[in-house]
Chains A and B, each alone.
Chain A
Amino acid sequence: MSWAPGDHPRDDLAVYALDALEGAERAALEAHLATCPECQEDLMVYRETLAFTVEDEEPPPDLWDRIVDVIDAHLDAEIGARQSEVDAGLDDAWLDDAGLDDAPVGDETLPPAEPLTPVPPVPPLSPVPPLPPDRRPVEDLPGADVEPPRHLRPRNPRRRLVALVAAAAAIIAVVAVGPAVVDRISGDDDTEVVSPDLPRGTIAAEDGTPVARVEADEQGSFVDLSDATPLGADRTYQLWSLDGPQPESLGLLGLGGDDDVRVTLPAGTTQVAISDEPASGSPQPTGPIVGTGSLALPS
């Protein structure tokens, strides 16, 4: 559905403001909204009106801690994973030589690489997520106004972010100069290096339908989600170890699709599951378990 110039879907806009419009009607309204300042203004007024109808309430006292835990985990994952990529493929001195430690945060300039073959222009990096907030009360921190947040000590937060930028740059550089790496990871190369120390297995739904496969290459374990039903943007697949007394999260796997997802499995992981969770993940499974599986070392 579309509307003529000067014609506005006023009823649908009001329904949309209540999140009560679905499917094709919602998509059509959003398409109109993207180009109509008048309807954007009306939506703003509707939202302001609705906001007045809800009282603020005191959130649970531990909720802020949970939020910071998730953010910490995101940062640790990005740094750890990207650092391991760097360690695997690049000399650390390369980063120092590139002068990245002195780069301002958010600087998207890439270091000079030494391409093995002519390479296409390197795409810009995604914006680096900002640092997580400090949850500690100021009064509990002597000299708090100069002390970096707990989760960043003893490392300098800016150096940490710079490391993130550098690691991301390194990954892009590796991909740019080595398309064979990508081919091997995607399983198109018969010369794939087998990693006998890493377990593999299929994760299947209750009816036996394969949902995902845990695989491994010379760089470690990864999950192939090409058989999983793609999720909406507000959800994520999450991988769990079932070997302990309660499920232990092994990582957020994203929305599903053709991209394999690198994971780190604790030694001895044998029983795993995948669940459908809110986009920020969950400390314990809350969404439906979409599949379970057993992992074993290749014979």
Chain B
Amino acid sequence: MLVTADRPPEHGAPTDRPTPPPAPARSPRAARMADAGPVDDATVVAALVEGDGDALAEIYARYGGAVWGVAKRVCGDRTLAEDVTQTVFVELWRRPQRYDPTRGALRPWLMAQAHARAVDTVRSEAARQRREDREARFAAQPSPDVEADVHMAAMSDGVRRAVARLASDERDAIVLAYFGGHSYREAAELLGAPEGTVKSRIRRGLSGLRRALESEGMTS
């Protein structure tokens, strides 16, 4: 079977576009949505599924910062994070029906897509060197505690307080895996703990984190 190559972007080519706005512009359609009152995420995604490309601008305006935030935290590199963010939104445009509103809100779903791609990126051979260079800035051989502390330093006060409530072994396992992009096996090796133990710590830690965030008033 013969298929056709996706045509590449013509970067650097002259363009009649105006200077892009500093933030994603609300499209005419999105503006009408706003005028009509708050539009829930499921409605915007449904518009995208129906072929309304303007809906993507609305979704980017709402959650571009969240996707970028998780991509940058995990990748630790702006160029890689830009690729991840771009991929997440182009994929949403190509296959918006992959999002099922009955399985959760759009923001965490998009962030999960971004996280998965960011983890793939940092585990790839091409990215490994950049990552090592980044980590070398903190320590020649960063201990798990140091790596966890580095990631925690980037958290908001409330989240940091919630994470600090966890047992340190649970906290380290979650932070190494989620923010460090390590597999649980790698985390086990870094922590010097049995793999099964690390799995259990991650589950207990996630449950505890939920409760801690609730007590910080951050989950409403």
Per the 8 Å Cβ criterion, residues 122-158 of B in contact with A are 124-126, 154-156
Alpha-carbon distance A157/B121, docked complex (angstroms): 35
A-contact 0/1 string along B80-94, CB 8 Å cutoff:
001111110111011
B184/A21 in contact, CB under 8 A: yes
Q: Across the interface, name the chain B residue whose C-beta is closest to A283.
A: B11
CB-CB < 8 A to B196: which residues of A? 11
CB-CB < 8 A to B70: which residues of A? 54
B184/A20 in contact, CB under 8 A: yes
Alpha-carbon distance A283/B124, docked complex (angstroms): 19
A44/B104 in contact, CB under 8 A: yes
B64/A64 in contact, CB under 8 A: yes
The listed residue (A13, A57, A66, A283) touching B68 by CB distance below 8 A is A57
Give the contact-size bracket for chain A. 35 or more
Q: How many A-B residue pairs have CB under 8 A?
A: 318
A144/B69 in contact, CB under 8 A: no
A55 contacts the other chain (CB 8 A): yes
Q: How many residues of B contact A (CB 8 A)?
A: 103
Known: A52-B159, A66-B86, A131-B51. A286 touches B9 (CB 8 A): no
Per the 8 Å Cβ criterion, residues 60-115 of B in contact with A are 60, 64-70, 72-73, 78-79, 82-87, 89-91, 93-94, 96-97, 103-105, 107-109, 111-112, 115
Q: Taking beta carbons and an 8 Å cutoff, which residues of A are in contact with B?
A: 10-15, 17-22, 40, 44-67, 69-74, 76-78, 80-82, 85, 105-106, 127-138, 140-141, 144-147, 149-150, 161, 182, 185-186, 222-223, 232, 234, 236, 238-239, 249-254, 258-264, 278-284, 286-288
- 7 nearest CB pairs, A to B: A77-B7, A251-B5, A249-B8, A131-B53, A56-B65, A133-B57, A14-B203
